[in-house]
A and B are shown apart, each in its own frame.
Chain A
Amino acid sequence: MNLDKVISGFFIILAMTLNFGFFYGDLADIGLHDKYELFAAIVVNVIATILKLGDRTQMGSVLLATSLVAVIQLIAAASVWTIGINTVGIIDSGLSSIIVSLSGGALLANITSVFLYIGDTLKSRR
């Protein structure tokens, strides 16, 4: 067993599950989406990204790219939320759908990342 693999695998999968947890629910109703869950998703995604830094292999580069996509989408969602609440004052159904769909995009990137990660692990014989 490789501790490095456990840690990076843990964060990569946690990034996806948290992201899914936030995304799941009615698109237009922000009440069904928790802000702390979004925060956790962002933090875990950033950690997963850092763990993938500096890997010079082909697989490492693609993994890093997917993580960067996810982080950017999630931060965009959080920014929309912050700006919305401080300028409009309330998150209406329009804003809500923007936030949740942005996180949906991040979820796709995270799923890709997990698939690649599992594929890479299966391929390795050690």
Chain B
Amino acid sequence: MKNSSLWIILQRMRTPFLVIVITYTISILGMAIIPGIDNNGNTYHMSIFDAFYFITYTATTIGFGEIPYTFTYPQRMWVSFSIYFDVLGWFYSIGSLVALLQDKLFIQELAKNRFKRQINNLKEKYILVLGYNLITSEIIKKAIESGIRAVVIEKDQAKVHELMLENFTPQVPVLNADAYNPQALEMAGINSIYCKAVVSLFQDDALNLRIALTAKLLNPKVRLAVKATTQSDVENLQDFGVDIIENPFDIIASQTNKALNSHHLLRLERWIYGSIKLTDPFMKFPVGKYVMCGFGRMGEVIYKVLKENNLEVKCIEKDASKLKYLKEDEKNDVSYVESYDKKSLINVGVQDAKYIVIGTKNDTTNLSVALTAKKLNPNITTIVRENEMEDFSIFQTDKIDHILMPSRILIDKTINAIIRPSADLFVKNLDTLSDKDAQGIIKTLLEIDNEPILFELKVTKNESFELYKRIGKKLNVTLDLLRQSLKDKDHLNNVFIFMIYRKSGEIMLPSWDEKLHKDDVVLIGCDKNALEEIELMANNFNEFEFAFFGKEYSVLKNLFSKTQDNI
């Protein structure tokens, strides 16, 4: 009884069906009762089947003629009557059916059924993305690139069409419904074993909170990536047990802090997120006077970080309502201006400032302030917030030194947390490392390759069959094995191990003689060749044999002296 579109048809077609049956019955009875005359002039009565046959082709306006014999006048009178009677009934029924097919409810019902079928047939890992916009579209693209499918729930019909026009391959099933609706979430397979994560990055914090609550009620085990921009929301989400909480302004604050104090750590963090390449010029904020434009949520967090580092900061803000709740110490540094023009920039001291941070919500304002500031003080370094994500950015000019993009940070963080949960954990633990460690790691990574690959090796039965099996046999498998070249016994591959993650706790930067356990997740940075060889030895008996014992497995030798079981 799940298929409600069929039931809608049946229920709506009740009256049309009844109309057809009744009109047919009356006409058929009439034809059978009214006497006719056969070719020899004898009276005869049409059989019921003949009458049914005649009415069937007459009512549908096919009209084969008068059979079996030419009709008498009383018969013809009855036929004239029944033609109008039946044809009207027939057309009415067809009209109802056509109207039903165009009925919005019915079409929605069909779309829902198609969506359900798609979800049922989806036998791969997927993420459930709530709301379709530029940010989530970017996330979907990256997920598909890494072999993870996506399913979308979107309320706005126009955006649903937009997604369909995007032509994602493989297809992205989309349901047109409210994202906080439990039924919609269930239909989208929140309880499915293939559902890897639910992503909810709406602008509205309250909506995100509501979705997190609903999702956790439906499936307490599901991973949730939820955006929150205030501290209280972050705490609420933590209480629900949400795994990935994303506060873009928090990330910006911590990145600003790192840019001031430990830029190598920042470089490593941004590389793991996939925001930059290791060879890119890096963000390093020197000590000096800072000027800030815009004191919104982002301005506030950056201000706090700068103040904590005992730097001189002056802020200007156009929106008086944002200045109502200033704390005492902030009042000295934050001032109200009518507009971000040349005069107010000079007043706040752009000419002798070393840095200007421009973080309003308006991209055009941000850009024009940056250009003005550069004009007033050519030596100033500009850090500008970019809000809108476009294919072609107007911010790509040499007047702007660093771009802060909350939406980009959100994308990188989400996708990293979903595809490589261990890498996300590593970033979380970065604070335990010193800047010097980070510098060392970057140096090692650059020795491996200009663009090293970051991947996680899961020591599970499905993903590294051979390794899992051998560890079970009490072989002493250490991390050293992972860098063993499969071509030459005495050669080592370019491999760097970031972290081992196991249930009892993670080990940051483990040494080479660290033992591997079952169900470990190893976060590895390496070049392409090493990646291939690690995957080979993790899954192939002979390759493992060579990597571990340094020689090929000999069938003859083991055939006779086999004592241990081979499974």
Residues of A within 8 A of B (CB): 35-36, 39, 43, 46-47, 50-51, 53-54, 56, 61, 78, 82, 85-86
B128 → A minimal CB distance (Å): 29
Complex formed: what's the CA distance from A90 to B21 in Å?
Answer: 29
- B48 lies within 8 A of chain A by Cβ: yes
Main secondary structure of the interface of B (DSSP, over half): helix
- B14 lies within 8 A of chain A by Cβ: yes
Complex formed: what's the CA distance from A41 to B140 in Å?
Answer: 61
Q: Are the C-beta atoms of B14 and A53 separated by less than 8 Å? A: yes
Q: Are the C-beta atoms of B11 and A54 separated by less than 8 Å? A: yes
Q: Are the C-beta atoms of B1 and A56 separated by less than 8 Å? A: yes
Complex formed: what's the CA distance from A107 to B10 in Å?
Answer: 25
Complex formed: what's the CA distance from A47 to B7 in Å?
Answer: 18
Q: Please, which residues of chain B bring their CB within 8 A of the CB of A50? A: 14, 17-18, 21
Residues of B within 8 A of A (CB): 1, 4, 7-8, 10-14, 17-18, 21-22, 25, 28-29, 32, 47-49
B472 → A minimal CB distance (Å): 51
Return the contact of B47 from the options A43, A47, A51, A85 (Cβ within 8 A). A85
Q: Are the C-beta atoms of B21 and A43 separated by less than 8 Å? A: yes
Complex formed: what's the CA distance from A113 to B299 in Å?
Answer: 75
Q: Which residue of B lies closest to A58 (CB)?
A: B1
Q: Please, which residues of chain A bring their CB within 8 A of the CB of B17? A: 50, 53
Complex formed: what's the CA distance from A50 to B47 in Å?
Answer: 26
Complex formed: what's the CA distance from A86 to B53 in Å?
Answer: 14
Asked, given contacts A46-B21, A47-B21, whether A54 binds B48 with beta carbons under 8 Å apart, the answer is no
Top 7 A-B residue pairs of the complex, sorted by shortest distance between their CB atoms: A54-B11, A54-B10, A82-B49, A53-B10, A50-B17, A43-B25, A39-B48
B400 → A minimal CB distance (Å): 62
A47 → B minimal CB distance (Å): 6
B51 → A minimal CB distance (Å): 9
Q: Please, which residues of chain B bring their CB within 8 A of the CB of A46? A: 21
Complex formed: what's the CA distance from A93 to B18 in Å?
Answer: 36
Return the contact of B11 from the options A35, A53, A82, A86 (Cβ within 8 A). A53
Q: Please, which residues of chain A bring their CB within 8 A of the CB of B29? A: 36, 39
Asked, given contacts A43-B21, A46-B21, whether A54 binds B14 with beta carbons under 8 Å apart, the answer is yes
B563 → A minimal CB distance (Å): 64
Q: Are the C-beta atoms of B7 and A56 separated by less than 8 Å? A: yes
Highest count of chain B CB atoms <10 Å: which of A47, A54, A85: A54
Query: With A35-B48, A54-B11, A78-B49 given, can you name 11 additional A-B contacts, CB distance below 8 Å?
Result: A36-B48, A39-B28, A39-B32, A47-B21, A50-B18, A51-B18, A53-B13, A56-B1, A56-B4, A78-B48, A85-B47
Q: Please, which residues of chain A bring their CB within 8 A of the CB of B1? A: 56, 61
B99 → A minimal CB distance (Å): 16
Q: Are the C-beta atoms of A51 and B21 separated by less than 8 Å? A: no
Q: List 10 A-B contacts (CB under 8 A).
A: A36-B32, A39-B29, A39-B48, A47-B18, A50-B18, A51-B14, A54-B8, A54-B11, A54-B12, A82-B48
Q: Are the C-beta atoms of B18 and A54 separated by less than 8 Å? A: no
Q: Please, which residues of chain A bring their CB within 8 A of the CB of B14? A: 50-51, 53-54
Q: Please, which residues of chain A bring their CB within 8 A of the CB of B25? A: 43
A84 → B minimal CB distance (Å): 11
Complex formed: what's the CA distance from A121 to B279 in Å?
Answer: 80
Complex formed: what's the CA distance from A51 to B11 in Å?
Answer: 9
Complex formed: what's the CA distance from A86 to B48 in Å?
Answer: 12
Q: Please, which residues of chain B bring their CB within 8 A of the CB of A82? A: 47-49
Complex formed: what's the CA distance from A14 to B10 in Å?
Answer: 23
Q: Are the C-beta atoms of B47 and A54 separated by less than 8 Å? A: no
Complex formed: what's the CA distance from A46 to B12 in Å?
Answer: 17
Q: Please, which residues of chain A bring their CB within 8 A of the CB of B8? A: 54
Q: Which residue of A lies closest to B33 (CB)?
A: A36
Highest count of chain B CB atoms <10 Å: which of A36, A43, A50, A82: A50
Q: Please, which residues of chain A bring their CB within 8 A of the CB of B13? A: 53
Q: Please, which residues of chain B bring their CB within 8 A of the CB of A51? A: 14, 18
Q: Please, which residues of chain A bring their CB within 8 A of the CB of B11? A: 53-54
Highest count of chain B CB atoms <10 Å: which of A47, A53, A56, A86: A53
Complex formed: what's the CA distance from A50 to B48 in Å?
Answer: 22
Complex formed: what's the CA distance from A50 to B17 in Å?
Answer: 7
B14 → A minimal CB distance (Å): 5
Complex formed: what's the CA distance from A85 to B45 in Å?
Answer: 14
Q: Which residue of B lies closest to A79 (CB)?
A: B49
Q: Please, which residues of chain B bring their CB within 8 A of the CB of A35? A: 48
B140 → A minimal CB distance (Å): 36
Q: Which residue of B lies closest to A85 (CB)?
A: B47
Q: Which residue of A lies closest to B12 (CB)?
A: A54
B280 → A minimal CB distance (Å): 61
Complex formed: what's the CA distance from A56 to B1 in Å?
Answer: 7
